[in-house]
Amino acid sequence: MPLDMQVVTIGYREPVLWVAVGLSTAIAVAVGALAGRMMAAIPQPGRRRLWGALVTAAALFGLAVLPGLVLGVLFLLVTGGATACAAFVKPALLIPAVTGLAVEWIAWRRTRVNVIE
């Protein structure tokens, strides 16, 4: 039984890549805003820092993996069974993770300022 699998190396001009990055960034913004608000609601500074570090690490890992999964599924659906090799576009797949962390930090700081005042 032969293994018939098509692997396509994609570049930055691949539309499916940018759709996957856009969808993942939208999810990352929502997750970052929610996580930032939740962390800002913790009143004790020590617990807030501990839980903030844990949630940030989990969000970073999850948001770094998410675009690759979305890209794999979308590319599989669009091409009818081919697998995407994203070796050359890895920096683009980190855009959602960086965006999510920035939104989390901004939401955390804004909410903390509003709670303190």
Rounded to an integer, what distance in angstroms lies between the CA atom of residue 59 and that of residue 57? 5
User: Taking all residues of the chain, what is their mean pLDDT, rounded to a whole number?
Assistant: 89
Residue ranges per structural domain of the chain: 16-116
pLDDT above 60: residue 117: no
Q: Phi/psi of residue 13, each to 5°?
A: -90, 5
97: which 2 tokens? 């993770």
pLDDT above 70: residue 115: no
pLDDT digit string, tens, across residues 36-55 = 888 888 888 888 889 888 98
Per-residue model confidence (pLDDT) at position 33: 92
73: which 2 tokens? 């599924």
62: which 2 tokens? 């999850």
pLDDT digit string, tens, across residues 98-113 = 999 999 989 888 776 5
